[in-house]
Structure 1
Amino acid sequence: MAGDLPGGAPVDGAWLVVGLGNPGPDYATTRHNVGAMALDVLGGRVGGRFGAHRRGRADVLEGRIGGPGGPRAVLAKPRSYMNESGGPVASLQQAFKIGPERIVVVHDELDLPFGALRLKLGGGDNGHNGLKSLRRSLGTGDYLRVRLGIGRPPGRQDPADFVLKPFSSPERKELDVFLERAADAVEELVTLGLERAQSSFND
């Protein structure tokens, strides 16, 4: 591998940036899809349109992060359900020959309040079915993560039901700003490295 920037970001080579969610209009605006929503914002900055990949069971967009001179990246939204996300991601990893150290997964996080954002490398799956599937298919959990807080369900509501509900009216008023910040975090992560991005975005 070529030399690294401070914080561990490779100087060259492509990145695979994955936004987790469930496919279809019924799930498009639910809390569980906030990772895929952030990828849409990032895709708008990269330019072009997501299209179906022939091997990966995912919608992909190839471009450069952070502008014309930025790192090359494959943005991906699996077309499978959340608990089967690992298969499409592993197929894309193999197709584009991208190591786990250059995979960034953007996903919802129950243990962070709505609007909070954290970046980290590796860690457990914390009951998240998408992350469990990724670990099974990739054979590792040592990829970069952008964790987007959606908060805990109120009262005794089942978390499995909560994540499949749309954001509340107050949350929707702040959602666009939250997604733009998530896209900013991905850009800084792949251009400046994990440590720099953590110092800027970890609340």
Structure 2
Amino acid sequence: MYPLKVVCQLQRRSQRLNVSSILEKLFPGGDGGGSKSPPWIIIGLGNPGIKYKNTRHNVGWWCMDEFVHRTKTQMNNKRKELIFGELKLNGKLVVLAYPQTFVNRSGAALRYLIHRYKTIPEKILIISDDINLQPGSLRIRKKGGPGGHNGLKSIIATLGTNEFPRVRIGVGNPESISSQVDHVLGTFEPDTKEKVIKATNKAVDAIELIILDDLENAMNKFNGDGEATKAH
């Protein structure tokens, strides 16, 4: 028989282990004590290759380029489906990623990051072009449908939910639905491109605010510039 004092110590240890086990199941990426939070994963949507570098569909990559430049992030993790790097912002782990799967299969690139970092949809921020917004306008949303964007469709299918934040940068609407593909794979006029570059810089400001402060505050500060284009 163990002394009563030893029995009590063993019981307390068992209770702590049970609680830690439960928390680990609920929050598999955490430490069970609440001191760590899931990392942010920031993904800019776009197509790989010099052919697509300056197209409207690669505005998400333009934004990522600015983010990488500002933070001097080393994008030294390379896989077939994506290129990514890590940085710390005010002690928070942030992962920046360029999918290499082409826009329509963006979810395939995200799948690896979810498995590696065990984050949650609320911490996955997608940057994309949006034909429903005027060139150079910016919209931040907590959740929503794909809005006709095949990259967002792919990510929603991978996550099984549309409840993840996104930053959308306007690229303007084509003249007809039949010309949408040509539109997003086309390039900007010089004056329009300047507006969009300013928007990508502003988008990086917004993303930093989301990470360091709050999504709602970023929405209040940055939403409202520009107008939605006329629907076709």
**TM-score bracket for this pair, using the shorter chain length:** 0.7 to 0.9
TM-score (normalised: structure 2): 0.77
Report whether the alignment pairs 1:110 with 2:141.
no
**Change in CA separation of 1:133 and 1:156 when aligned onto 2, cut-off 3 Å:** closer
Report whether the alignment pairs 1:64 with 2:85.
no
The equivalent position to 1:17 in structure 2, one of 42, 60, 70, is 42
Report whether the alignment pairs 1:137 with 2:161.
no
Distance 2:121 2:55 in 1: 28
What per-residue deviation string (whole Å, max 9, x for no partner) do you get for residues 99-129 of structure 1? 1110000000111101110111111112110
- Where structure 1 has 5 or more consecutive residues not aligned to the other structure, the ranges are 3-9
Distance 1:154 1:70 in 2: 46
**Higher RCO structure (Cα 8 Å, ≥6 apart):** 1
Please tell me whether the aligned partners of residues 189 and 197 of structure 1 are also in contact (alpha carbons under 8 angstroms): yes
Q: Higher helix fraction: Structure 1 or Structure 2?
A: 2
Give the C-alpha shift of residue 95 in structure 1.
Answer: 0.7
Q: Which 4+ residue blocks in structure 1 deviate beyond 6 angstroms?
A: none
1:91 aligned partner: 112
1:33 aligned partner: 58
1:127 aligned partner: 148
Report whether the alignment pairs 1:158 with 2:182.
no
Distance 1:81 1:51 in 2: 20
RMSD: 2.1
> Based on CA coordinates, which of the two structures has the bigger radius of gyration?
2
Give the C-alpha shift of residue 57 in structure 1.
Answer: 1.6
Give the C-alpha shift of residue 184 in structure 1.
Answer: 0.5
Equivalent position SS for 2:52 = coil
Distance 1:90 1:29 in 2: 26
- Where structure 2 has 5 or more consecutive residues not aligned to the other structure, the ranges are 1-25, 28-34, 225-232
Distance 1:150 1:128 in 2: 12
Matched residue count: 192
Please tell me whether the aligned partners of residues 74 and 86 of structure 2 are also in contact (alpha carbons under 8 angstroms): no
Give the C-alpha shift of residue 155 in structure 1.
Answer: 5.9
Identity of aligned residues (%): 35
